[in-house]
Protein backbone atom coordinates (compact mmCIF):
# COMPACT_ATOMS: atom_id res chain seq x y z
CA UNK A 1 0.00 0.00 0.00
CA UNK A 2 1.25 3.48 -0.80
CA UNK A 3 2.01 6.05 1.86
CA UNK A 4 -1.07 8.08 0.90
CA UNK A 5 -3.17 4.92 1.16
CA UNK A 6 -1.84 4.21 4.67
CA UNK A 7 -2.58 7.75 5.82
CA UNK A 8 -6.09 7.43 4.31
CA UNK A 9 -6.67 4.22 6.25
CA UNK A 10 -5.37 5.88 9.40
CA UNK A 11 -7.77 8.79 8.93
CA UNK A 12 -10.74 6.47 8.55
CA UNK A 13 -9.79 4.56 11.69
CA UNK A 14 -9.25 7.83 13.62
CA UNK A 15 -12.64 9.09 12.48
CA UNK A 16 -14.37 5.88 13.60
CA UNK A 17 -12.63 5.96 16.98
CA UNK A 18 -13.53 9.65 17.46
CA UNK A 19 -17.15 8.87 16.63
CA UNK A 20 -17.15 5.91 19.01
CA UNK A 21 -15.75 8.07 21.82
CA UNK A 22 -18.09 11.01 21.18
CA UNK A 23 -21.12 8.73 21.32
CA UNK A 24 -19.77 6.93 24.39
CA UNK A 25 -19.28 10.12 26.43
CA UNK A 26 -22.64 11.42 25.22
CA UNK A 27 -21.44 14.41 23.19
CA UNK A 28 -23.50 12.94 20.33
CA UNK A 29 -26.73 11.50 21.63
CA UNK A 30 -27.76 8.00 20.61
CA UNK A 31 -30.90 9.25 18.91
CA UNK A 32 -28.80 11.12 16.34
CA UNK A 33 -25.90 8.79 15.70
CA UNK A 34 -25.00 5.31 16.88
CA UNK A 35 -21.57 4.11 17.87
CA UNK A 36 -19.77 2.56 14.85
CA UNK A 37 -19.33 -0.83 16.55
CA UNK A 38 -23.07 -0.94 17.22
CA UNK A 39 -23.84 -0.17 13.57
CA UNK A 40 -21.61 -3.07 12.51
CA UNK A 41 -23.23 -5.41 15.05
CA UNK A 42 -26.72 -4.31 14.00
CA UNK A 43 -25.84 -4.89 10.35
CA UNK A 44 -24.63 -8.39 11.20
CA UNK A 45 -27.74 -9.34 13.19
CA UNK A 46 -29.98 -7.79 10.54
CA UNK A 47 -28.40 -9.82 7.76
CA UNK A 48 -28.38 -12.98 9.91
CA UNK A 49 -32.03 -12.70 10.92
CA UNK A 50 -32.98 -12.10 7.30
CA UNK A 51 -36.00 -9.97 8.19
CA UNK A 52 -35.05 -7.32 5.63
CA UNK A 53 -33.85 -9.71 2.92
CA UNK A 54 -37.00 -9.08 0.91
CA UNK A 55 -36.46 -5.31 0.90
CA UNK A 56 -32.78 -5.70 0.04
CA UNK A 57 -33.53 -8.14 -2.78
CA UNK A 58 -36.24 -5.85 -4.16
CA UNK A 59 -34.04 -2.74 -4.23
CA UNK A 60 -30.93 -4.44 -5.52
CA UNK A 61 -32.97 -6.34 -8.11
CA UNK A 62 -34.67 -3.19 -9.37
CA UNK A 63 -31.41 -1.23 -9.43
CA UNK A 64 -29.69 -4.08 -11.25
CA UNK A 65 -32.52 -4.25 -13.76
CA UNK A 66 -32.39 -0.47 -14.31
CA UNK A 67 -28.61 -0.67 -14.71
CA UNK A 68 -28.81 -3.42 -17.36
CA UNK A 69 -31.48 -1.55 -19.33
CA UNK A 70 -29.63 1.79 -19.08
CA UNK A 71 -26.35 0.31 -20.26
CA UNK A 72 -27.71 -1.83 -23.09
CA UNK A 73 -30.10 0.84 -24.40
CA UNK A 74 -27.44 3.53 -23.88
CA UNK A 75 -24.76 1.70 -25.86
CA UNK A 76 -27.25 0.89 -28.62
CA UNK A 77 -28.45 4.50 -28.78
CA UNK A 78 -24.84 5.69 -28.76
CA UNK A 79 -24.04 3.50 -31.76
CA UNK A 80 -27.07 4.77 -33.68
CA UNK A 81 -26.66 8.47 -32.77
CA UNK A 82 -22.96 8.32 -33.65
CA UNK A 83 -23.91 7.47 -37.24
CA UNK A 84 -26.55 10.21 -37.59
CA UNK A 85 -24.67 13.50 -37.45
CA UNK A 86 -27.76 15.74 -37.77
CA UNK A 87 -29.60 13.97 -34.93
CA UNK A 88 -26.54 14.19 -32.73
CA UNK A 89 -26.24 17.95 -33.27
CA UNK A 90 -29.90 18.44 -32.38
CA UNK A 91 -29.59 16.32 -29.26
CA UNK A 92 -26.38 17.99 -28.07
CA UNK A 93 -28.06 20.77 -26.04
CA UNK A 94 -30.25 18.12 -24.41
CA UNK A 95 -27.23 16.03 -23.41
CA UNK A 96 -25.42 19.12 -22.10
CA UNK A 97 -28.30 20.17 -19.85
CA UNK A 98 -29.93 16.81 -19.14
CA UNK A 99 -28.52 16.45 -15.64
CA UNK A 100 -29.89 19.85 -14.67
CA UNK A 101 -33.39 18.41 -15.01
CA UNK A 102 -34.79 17.14 -11.71
CA UNK A 103 -35.81 13.71 -12.98
CA UNK A 104 -37.55 12.94 -9.69
CA UNK A 105 -40.11 15.59 -10.59
CA UNK A 106 -41.40 13.06 -13.14
CA UNK A 107 -41.90 10.39 -10.49
CA UNK A 108 -45.48 11.45 -9.60
CA UNK A 109 -46.41 11.39 -13.28
CA UNK A 110 -44.83 7.96 -13.67
CA UNK A 111 -46.78 6.65 -10.68
CA UNK A 112 -49.98 7.90 -12.28
CA UNK A 113 -49.00 6.24 -15.55
CA UNK A 114 -47.43 2.97 -14.42
CA UNK A 115 -48.95 2.42 -10.99
CA UNK A 116 -47.19 2.23 -7.63
CA UNK A 117 -45.23 -0.93 -8.38
CA UNK A 118 -41.60 -1.52 -9.33
CA UNK A 119 -42.01 -0.06 -12.83
CA UNK A 120 -41.85 3.70 -12.08
CA UNK A 121 -38.79 3.21 -9.85
CA UNK A 122 -36.93 1.23 -12.50
CA UNK A 123 -38.00 3.83 -15.06
CA UNK A 124 -36.47 6.65 -12.95
CA UNK A 125 -33.23 4.66 -12.58
CA UNK A 126 -33.08 4.12 -16.35
CA UNK A 127 -33.88 7.80 -17.06
CA UNK A 128 -30.98 8.87 -14.86
CA UNK A 129 -28.40 6.34 -16.07
CA UNK A 130 -29.24 6.13 -19.78
CA UNK A 131 -27.93 9.56 -20.85
CA UNK A 132 -24.62 9.14 -19.00
CA UNK A 133 -24.06 5.88 -20.92
CA UNK A 134 -25.01 7.50 -24.26
CA UNK A 135 -22.70 10.49 -23.73
CA UNK A 136 -19.74 8.34 -22.69
CA UNK A 137 -20.35 5.83 -25.51
CA UNK A 138 -20.32 8.69 -28.04
CA UNK A 139 -17.12 9.98 -26.47
CA UNK A 140 -15.54 6.52 -26.79
CA UNK A 141 -16.70 6.05 -30.39
CA UNK A 142 -15.19 9.42 -31.31
CA UNK A 143 -11.84 8.12 -30.13
CA UNK A 144 -11.75 4.87 -32.09
CA UNK A 145 -8.52 5.09 -34.15
CA UNK A 146 -9.31 5.51 -37.84
CA UNK A 147 -6.80 2.85 -38.81
CA UNK A 148 -8.95 0.26 -37.02
CA UNK A 149 -12.01 1.33 -39.00
CA UNK A 150 -10.01 1.14 -42.21
CA UNK A 151 -8.82 -2.34 -41.30
CA UNK A 152 -12.44 -3.37 -40.76
CA UNK A 153 -13.36 -2.04 -44.18
CA UNK A 154 -10.41 -3.75 -45.86
CA UNK A 155 -11.48 -7.03 -44.29
CA UNK A 156 -14.97 -6.52 -45.64
CA UNK A 157 -16.75 -6.54 -42.26
CA UNK A 158 -20.43 -5.59 -42.20
CA UNK A 159 -21.63 -2.87 -39.76
CA UNK A 160 -22.65 -5.42 -37.10
CA UNK A 161 -19.30 -7.20 -37.20
CA UNK A 162 -17.46 -3.87 -37.12
CA UNK A 163 -19.42 -2.79 -34.07
CA UNK A 164 -18.93 -6.07 -32.19
CA UNK A 165 -15.29 -6.71 -33.10
CA UNK A 166 -13.80 -3.25 -33.57
CA UNK A 167 -15.67 -0.17 -32.33
CA UNK A 168 -17.21 -1.47 -29.11
CA UNK A 169 -14.07 -3.16 -27.76
CA UNK A 170 -12.05 -0.09 -28.69
CA UNK A 171 -14.51 2.23 -26.94
CA UNK A 172 -14.85 -0.14 -23.95
CA UNK A 173 -12.94 1.95 -21.36
CA UNK A 174 -15.18 4.95 -22.05
CA UNK A 175 -18.31 2.82 -22.01
CA UNK A 176 -17.15 1.53 -18.61
CA UNK A 177 -16.95 5.14 -17.39
CA UNK A 178 -20.58 5.49 -18.44
CA UNK A 179 -21.42 2.20 -16.74
CA UNK A 180 -19.88 3.50 -13.51
CA UNK A 181 -22.24 6.46 -13.61
CA UNK A 182 -25.11 4.11 -14.45
CA UNK A 183 -24.44 2.05 -11.29
CA UNK A 184 -24.65 5.15 -9.13
CA UNK A 185 -27.63 6.58 -10.98
CA UNK A 186 -29.69 3.39 -11.00
CA UNK A 187 -29.18 3.09 -7.24
CA UNK A 188 -29.97 6.77 -6.72
CA UNK A 189 -33.06 6.51 -8.92
CA UNK A 190 -34.50 3.41 -7.30
CA UNK A 191 -33.68 4.33 -3.70
CA UNK A 192 -34.69 7.96 -4.14
CA UNK A 193 -38.03 6.91 -5.60
CA UNK A 194 -38.53 4.45 -2.73
CA UNK A 195 -37.84 7.25 -0.28
CA UNK A 196 -40.38 9.57 -1.81
CA UNK A 197 -43.21 7.10 -2.24
CA UNK A 198 -43.31 3.31 -2.40
CA UNK A 199 -44.55 0.22 -0.62
CA UNK A 200 -41.24 -1.55 0.00
CA UNK A 201 -37.52 -1.73 -0.60
CA UNK A 202 -34.47 -0.42 1.25
CA UNK A 203 -35.32 3.25 0.69
CA UNK A 204 -38.78 2.65 2.11
CA UNK A 205 -37.37 0.75 5.09
CA UNK A 206 -34.87 3.54 5.81
CA UNK A 207 -37.55 6.22 5.75
CA UNK A 208 -39.86 4.01 7.84
CA UNK A 209 -37.08 3.47 10.38
CA UNK A 210 -36.32 7.20 10.37
CA UNK A 211 -39.94 8.03 11.12
CA UNK A 212 -39.92 5.58 14.03
CA UNK A 213 -36.54 6.64 15.48
CA UNK A 214 -35.39 3.08 14.77
CA UNK A 215 -31.67 3.80 14.37
CA UNK A 216 -30.81 0.12 14.84
CA UNK A 217 -32.42 -0.54 11.44
CA UNK A 218 -31.69 2.75 9.70
CA UNK A 219 -27.91 2.94 10.09
CA UNK A 220 -27.11 -0.65 9.04
CA UNK A 221 -29.25 -0.22 5.91
CA UNK A 222 -27.52 3.06 5.03
CA UNK A 223 -24.11 1.46 5.53
CA UNK A 224 -25.10 -1.53 3.41
CA UNK A 225 -26.14 0.72 0.50
CA UNK A 226 -22.99 2.82 0.74
CA UNK A 227 -20.78 -0.29 0.92
CA UNK A 228 -22.46 -1.92 -2.08
CA UNK A 229 -22.22 1.18 -4.27
CA UNK A 230 -18.61 1.93 -3.35
CA UNK A 231 -17.59 -1.71 -3.93
CA UNK A 232 -19.21 -1.95 -7.38
CA UNK A 233 -17.67 1.38 -8.28
CA UNK A 234 -14.20 0.26 -7.25
CA UNK A 235 -14.50 -2.97 -9.23
CA UNK A 236 -15.49 -1.13 -12.43
CA UNK A 237 -12.79 1.52 -11.87
CA UNK A 238 -10.22 -1.23 -11.55
CA UNK A 239 -11.41 -2.89 -14.77
CA UNK A 240 -11.42 0.44 -16.59
CA UNK A 241 -7.88 1.23 -15.44
CA UNK A 242 -6.52 -2.17 -16.43
CA UNK A 243 -8.07 -1.79 -19.91
CA UNK A 244 -6.47 1.63 -20.33
CA UNK A 245 -3.15 0.38 -18.99
CA UNK A 246 -3.06 -2.49 -21.47
CA UNK A 247 -3.26 0.11 -24.22
CA UNK A 248 -0.58 2.23 -22.64
CA UNK A 249 -3.03 5.08 -22.09
CA UNK A 250 -2.49 5.51 -18.38
Partner 1 sequence: MSASTRRLFANMGWLTLAILVLWQGLYALIGDIALRSPVSTLQFTAKFITTPQFVTHLTETLKAFVLALLIAVTSGLAIGFLLGLKRFASEIFEPFLIAIYSVPKITLYPILLLIFGLGLSAKVAFGAIHGIVPIALFTLNAVRNVKPVLLKTSRVMGLSTGATIRTVIFPSALPEIFAGIRIGFSLTLIGTLLGEMFASQRGLGFLLMNAIGLHNVDVIVMLTFLLTGFAGMAGIVLLLINRRITAQV
Contact segment (CB under 8 A) with partner 1 among 130-138, 143-151, 207-215, 241-249 equals: 207-215
Write out the DSSP string of 61-75. Answer: HHHHHHHHHHHHHHH
Q: How far is the CB of 167 from partner 1 (least distance, A)?
A: 25
End-to-end CA distance of the chain: 19
Q: Does 210 bind partner 1 (CB under 8 A)?
A: yes
Burial (CB count within 10 angstroms: exposed 0-12, middle 13-18, buried 19+), residue 107: buried
- Comparing CA positions, the residue from 129, 100, 235 lying closest to residue 192 is 129
Cβ proximity to partner 1: between 45 and 90 the closer is: 90
Q: Is 21 in the site for partner 1 (CB under 8 A)?
A: no
Nearest partner of 140 among 122, 163, 117, judged by Cα? 163
Residue 171: alpha-carbon gap to chain centroid? 20
CB of 216 to partner 1, least distance (A): 13
How far is it, in rounded angstroms, from Cα 34 to Cα 123? 35
Binders in 83-142 for partner 1, by CB under 8 A:
89-94, 96-97, 99-106, 108-109, 111-113
Q: Please select the residue that binds partner 1; options are 31, 147, 154, 160, rule is CB under 8 A.
A: 31
The least CB distance from residue 73 to partner 1, in Å, is 17
User: Can residue 203 be called a binding residue for partner 1 (CB under 8 A)?
Assistant: yes
* Spatial distance between the Cα atoms of 140 and 133, rounded to a whole number of angstroms: 10
For the bound state, the minimum distance from the C-beta of residue 84 to partner 1, rounded and expressed in Å, comes to 14
Binding-site size, partner 1 (CB under 8 A)? 52
Q: CB within 8 A of 30, min separation 6: which ones?
A: 23, 215
- DSSP one-letter code for 106: G
Give the range of 48-56, 152-160, 164-172, 221-229 binding partner 1 by CB under 8 A.
Answer: 221-229
What is the closest distance, in whole angstroms, from the C-beta atom of residue 153 to partner 1 in the complex?
Answer: 31
Distance CA 33, CA 240 (A): 36
* Shortest Å distance, C-beta 243 to partner 1: 18
Is the Cβ–Cβ distance between 114 and 167 less than 8 Å? Answer: no
Q: Which residues bind partner 1 (CB under 8 A)?
A: 2, 4, 7-8, 11, 31-33, 89-94, 96-97, 99-106, 108-109, 111-113, 180, 183-184, 187-188, 191-192, 195-197, 203, 206-207, 209-210, 218, 221-222, 225-226, 229-230, 233
Amino acid sequence: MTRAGLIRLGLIVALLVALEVLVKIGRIDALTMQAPHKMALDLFTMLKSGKLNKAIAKTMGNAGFAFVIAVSLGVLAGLVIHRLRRLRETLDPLFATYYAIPVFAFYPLLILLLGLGDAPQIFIGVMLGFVAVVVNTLNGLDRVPRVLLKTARVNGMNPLETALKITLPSAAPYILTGAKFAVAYSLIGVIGAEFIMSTGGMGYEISFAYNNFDNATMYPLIILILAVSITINMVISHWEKSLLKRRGLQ
